[in-house]
Amino acid sequence: MKATLLVRNIGELATPIGRAARRGADMSAIRVVADAAVAVDVETVVWAGPASELPRLEGPAPEVVDAGGRSVVPGFVDSHTHFVFGGYRDEEFYWRASGLPYMEIHARGGGIASTVAATRGATEDELVASGAPRLERMLELGVTTVEGKSGYGLDLETELRQLGAMRTLDARQPVDIVQTFMGPHSIPREFSGSPSAYVDFVAREVLPAVKERGLARFCDVFCERGVFELDDSRRFLEAARRLGFGLKLHADEIVRIGGAGLAAELGATSADHLLKASPDDLAAMAAAGVVATCLPITAFSLREPYADARSMIDLGLAVALASDLNPGSCYSQSIPLAAALAVLYMRMSVEETLTALTLNGAAAVGLAEDRGSIEPGKLADMLILDAPSYRHLAYNVGMNVVGTVIKRGKVVSVRT
């Protein structure tokens, strides 16, 4: 066996196993190996297991990273963010803090619309410059793959610019970026009161341009009462599917309108938020193999009840956890906070939480084949924790326990 990197002296290796989302009870069946080692060839894991069983390495000596008896877990896949945007909405945060509901601000022309104005006014270079430090922060927190959505342009030019900024950022730094086109994120003022006309415009003018330039792998829609109702959402997603995009939905976040059921009907890759999803629709998602992505920091920030992740897992769903980083409903990329909320308030076990942040996150962006776990054949995206056990991921409430980040077989971040 040949290796370019050997991670040794791992006190506890903890990882889900598999090349697809883990569902239901399988979410807690992680592999835990004491006194472990991991061998990597270039960017791929070639061996992982008890150090005493490590095969002899041939060829030039590998670079050795000593984990110092600490725990190693897979890199996190943050499968739902809106990290490229112009401006901030701190004023709105304080309105919400004093009781004004998120959707009321939205209806009054604030909310997403104010970020749209700021993003339309930003150059691609400015979007790159403001996005870069957010990615740096994610990497320190252990995120090795992130999904990023457009949806703060709501016109052809700005949507392409937002996606272009993500493409530039993808090439410039270690975190892999999976791009999602979210034209139907809100109804722009040019189409005020006419969501259907806006969806027609997006499907006719913007979707094909995104496709032609290869700027997105997924399409997403804010399927919500008063924004894009079921029919408009379905029409957009069907158009996206015809062009070969994978599908995602912001579903049943504020009002139960059946977005989760639509995700099941269309065979979406994931349906996200799901705070108000009906048990029948969740069961339909489980049957259709749609990943349920929970975004606890958004519920926390909006003072909404958390998604019922416990029932979802008990129903046999694959649950993923993501940050939802965005300038409005959730200005945070804190994976540590998401993990703590999942364990303390959503009644997920820490093993389920680990699976939700890694392999199931990868499945939510269609990449479970090549990442999300530490096993032969997978990308060597790994975290050495500043802790002896993966259990510290939630136990050390809200704190970053990630010490060293290895991305594609290279040490890319070391916390000193």
Of the candidates 126, 124, 184, 125, which has an alpha carbon nearest to the alpha carbon of residue 154?
184
| Token pair in block for residue 387 | 């802790």
Give the shortest CB-95-to-ligand NIG separation in angstroms: 13
Q: Are 10 and 36 in contact (CB under 8 A)?
A: yes
Give, as ranges, the residues between 10 and 69 that touch Fe ion (CB under 5 A): none
Q: Are 408 and 379 in contact (CB under 8 A)?
A: yes
Residue closer to Fe ion, measured from CB, 363 or 406 = 363
Supply the DSSP string of 115-157, one letter for each residue. Answer: HHHHHHTS-HHHHHHHHHHHHHHHHHTTEEEEEEE--S--SHH
222 binds, among Fe ion, ligand NIG, none (CB under 5 to 8 A by kind): ligand NIG
- How does DSSP classify residue 191? G
What kind and span of H or E run contains 20? none
Choose which of 112, 262, 320, 394 interacts with ligand NIG (CB under 6 A).
112
Rounded CA gap, 158 and 254, in Å?
27
Give, as ranges, the residues between 306 and 345 that touch ligand NIG (CB under 6 A): 324, 326-330
Helices H / strands E in the chain, number of each: 16, 16
Give the shortest CB-128-to-ligand NIG separation in angstroms: 19
Rounded CA gap, 375 and 74, in Å?
10
Give the shortest CB-322-to-ligand NIG separation in angstroms: 10
For residue 148, state whether it binds ligand NIG (rule: CB under 6 A). no
For residue 298, state whether it binds ligand NIG (rule: CB under 6 A). yes
112 binds, among ligand NIG, Fe ion, none (CB under 5 to 8 A by kind): ligand NIG
Choose which of 250, 371, 391, 392 interacts with ligand NIG (CB under 6 A).
250
Give, as ranges, the residues between 209 and 238 that touch ligand NIG (CB under 6 A): 222
Rounded CA gap, 105 and 388, in Å?
45
CB-closest chain residue to ligand NIG:
328
For residue 86, state whether it binds ligand NIG (rule: CB under 6 A). no
Q: Are 59 and 365 in contact (CB under 8 A)?
A: no
Of the candidates 154, 177, 155, 157, which has an alpha carbon nearest to the alpha carbon of residue 167?
177
76 binds, among Fe ion, ligand NIG, none (CB under 5 to 8 A by kind): none
Give the shortest CB-119-to-ligand NIG separation in angstroms: 10
Q: Are 347 and 353 in contact (CB under 8 A)?
A: no
For residue 162, state whether it binds ligand NIG (rule: CB under 6 A). no
Rounded CA gap, 10 and 411, in Å?
16
Which residues, 6 or more positions from 183, have their beta carbon under 8 angstroms from its beta carbon?
150, 151, 154, 159, 202, 206, 207, 219, 236
Give the shortest CB-326-to-ligand NIG separation in angstroms: 4
For residue 115, state whether it binds ligand NIG (rule: CB under 6 A). yes
**Which residue is it, tokens 């006194």?**
35
Give the shortest CB-85-to-ligand NIG separation in angstroms: 7
Rounded CA gap, 216 and 236, in Å?
15
Rounded CA gap, 302 and 96, in Å?
8
Residue closer to Fe ion, measured from CB, 324 or 381 = 324
Give the shortest CB-312-to-ligand NIG separation in angstroms: 18
Give, as ranges, the residues between 313 and 342 that touch Fe ion (CB under 5 A): 324
For residue 82, state whether it binds ligand NIG (rule: CB under 6 A). yes
For residue 79, state whether it binds ligand NIG (rule: CB under 6 A). no
CB-closest chain residue to Fe ion:
324
The residue count for binding ligand NIG (CB under 6 A) is 14
The residues of the shown chain that bind ligand NIG, judged by CB under 6 A, are 82, 111-112, 115, 222, 250, 253, 298, 324, 326-330
Contacting positions for Fe ion (CB under 5 A): 324
